[in-house]
Every structure is written in structure tokens, then in C-alpha cells.
Amino acid sequence: MLEVGTKAPEFLLPDQNGELHTLSEYAGKKVILYFYPKDNTSGCTKQACGFSELYPQFTEKGAVVIGISKDSVASHKKFEEKYNLGFTLLADPELQAIQAYDVWKEKKNYGKVSMGVVRTTYLIDEQGIIIKAFGKVKAAENPAQMLEEL
């Protein structure tokens, strides 16, 4: 996980509509950047729906929410449509941002070891500096937790 106080790494990734986004385009806004393992899994769905539900409150506080996983643009589009998500999902199948933000880790699941995304949320200030970092977040509680942090 990246340290609080460090400059958040730049990225260039496509969203659920295939449009490219960079971190620097959000300069002047707070960014809640959350990394999650997989579209349409129970924890990830709870987290995404929570962020979507609270999205108007995030925007009132001058913040944007961006979710990143290694799923494809098409997978993100289905996920967005299925749950009517109101924020940006970025596709990172090459692990560009996932590795830059140090969330690609060894995971153990039922004794099986594999590499995967560890659920992590960063709060980035208007100048692109990480001001909060949360590792191994609880999916269902994370959206409300982040709203409180603002």
C-alpha cells in the first residue's frame, strides 16, 4: 500500500464506456480511488452499490469516486448497467494502476495461494496527494467510512 503524503501515481485507463481517463483530469477535486477484486461478486457489488447510493453526497463534498479492477471494459459496462452505478469504473487488465498503487498481492483462499487485488481505498486531495489509505477494507462499510473521512 502506498504511504499517506505521497503523490498519487498517474494512470491512463479506459472507463466502462471505453473513454480514457487520467488522474490529473480530476485536479481540484478530492478523489476516492478504490481497488476491488472482481465485478459482480458479492463484496464488490455491495461496495459499488454503496458508493453509487451515496454518490450525490460525495459530489456535494467536491469528491469523485473511481473504482478500478482488472476486469474488462465490457465487464464493467455490464456491472454498471446491472446495478445502475452512477460513477466511473476503470478497466486495468494490464495491472498498470493496480501495481502502481501496490494493491496486487499474494492472497490465500481456502489454502490456495494466488495473486490478486487486495481491496484498498485511497483518498487523494485536490493536488493529487494521498491523504488517507485503507487496506483490506470491509466492502459493505467502505462507502459510508469514506463519506465520513470527507
Residues 6+ apart with CB under 8 A from 50: 139, 140, 142, 143, 144
pTM of this prediction?
Answer: 0.95
Dump pLDDT digits (tens) for 127-139.
999 999 999 899 9
Give the pLDDT band (50/70/90) at residue 95.
Answer: very high
Catalytic amino acids?
44
Dump pLDDT digits (tens) for 97-122.
999 999 999 988 788 899 999 999 99
| Beta bridge mates, 116 | 105
Give the pLDDT band (50/70/90) at residue 73.
Answer: very high
Question: C-alpha distances in angstroms, 81 versus 51, 85, 89?
Answer: 15, 7, 12
Span 59-71, average pLDDT: 97
Please provide the DSSP assignment of 34-67 as one string. EE-S-TTSHHHHHHHHHHHHHHHHHHHTTEEEEE
Q: Tell how far CA 12 is from the center of its chain.
A: 14
